[in-house]
């Protein structure tokens, strides 16, 4: 656990801002990852872009489980879950942590979301937000519409800045 927190702190301290090449109106890149929830570890369960066709959803990347800033980001989403539901938005949290860590973190914070494991950083690379220098997916947010196109993106998302969350 110390390694995860130390690594996430390092990523936040030294990571250059990664700018995605994706733009509003682009189709969501294909993904299909293992996920966990607070209820189950999900070692055999996957969710992907094909499963979410016809739904609105937000993909929120964060560097690592068990770090203070990532926890703040996740809690913001949890505290505003009703607003997301009112707009018909499913929330997916993505990090490079293993599925078992995602499950334990979701349980510890009582997070009601799909916790995707991008351990090989395939999704981060497809979205253009993986940082080779730190080895982490950078903190980013993408809102995907029912048509599978990007409606909003922020590849410079700052979880400590309330205006980033409010946008």
Domain boundaries, the chain: 32-166
Q: Decide: 34 and 46 in contact? Cβ < 8 Å.
A: yes
Please state, for a pLDDT cut of 70, what percent of the chain lies above it.
83
Least confident range from 1-10, 105-114, 141-150: namely 1-10
The gap between the terminal CA atoms of the chain, to the nearest Å, is 32
Q: What does the pLDDT average to over 45-60?
A: 96
- Average pLDDT over all residues of the chain: 86
Beta bridge partners of 34: 46
65-85 pLDDT, tens digit per residue, is 988 888 999 999 999 999 999
Q: Provide the pLDDT for residue 165.
A: 43
1 pLDDT band, cuts 50/70/90, is: very low
> CA-to-CA distance for 22 and 72, rounded, in angstroms?
26
What DSSP line would sit under the chain, residue for residue? -HHHHHHHHHHHHHPPPP--S--TTSBPPP-EEEEE-SS---TT-EEETTTTTTSEEEEEE-S-TT-HHHHHHHHHHHHTHHHHHHTTEEEEEEESS-HHHHHHHHHHHT--SEEEE-TT-HHHHHHT-EETTTTEE--EEEEE-TTSBEEEEETT--TT-HHHHH-
CATH 1.20.1250.20 describes domain 32-166: no
User: Hey, which residues does 45 pair with through a beta bridge?
Assistant: none
- pTM score of the predicted model: 0.82
Residue 42: pLDDT band (50, 70, 90) is: confident
Phi (first) and psi of residue 86, to 5 degrees: -60, -30
Instruction: Tell me the per-residue pLDDT of 129-155, one tens digit each, with 9 for 90 and over.
Output: 999 999 999 999 999 999 999 999 998
For residues 137 and 15, is the Cβ–Cβ distance under 8 A?
Answer: no
Residue 124 pLDDT exceeds 90? yes
């Amino acid at each position: 656990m110390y390694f995860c927190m130390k690594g996430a702190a390092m990523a936040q301290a030294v990571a250059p801002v990664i700018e995605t090449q994706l733009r509003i109106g682009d189709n969501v890149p294909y993904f299909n990852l293992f996920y966990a929830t607070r209820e189950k570890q999900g070692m055999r369960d996957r969710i992907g872009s094909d499963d979410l066709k016809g739904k609105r959803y937000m993909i929120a990347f964060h560097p690592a489980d068990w770090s203070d800033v990532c926890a703040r980001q996740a809690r913001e989403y949890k505290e505003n879950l009703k607003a997301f539901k009112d707009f018909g938005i499913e929330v997916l949290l993505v990090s490079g942590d293993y599925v078992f860590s995602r499950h334990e973190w979701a349980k510890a914070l009582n997070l009601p979301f799909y916790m995707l494991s991008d351990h090989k950083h395939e999704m981060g690379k497809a979205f253009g937000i993986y940082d080779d220098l730190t080895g982490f997916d950078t903190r980013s947010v993408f809102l995907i519409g029912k048509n599978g196109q990007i409606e909003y993106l922020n590849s410079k998302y700052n979880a400590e800045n309330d205006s980033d969350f409010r946008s």
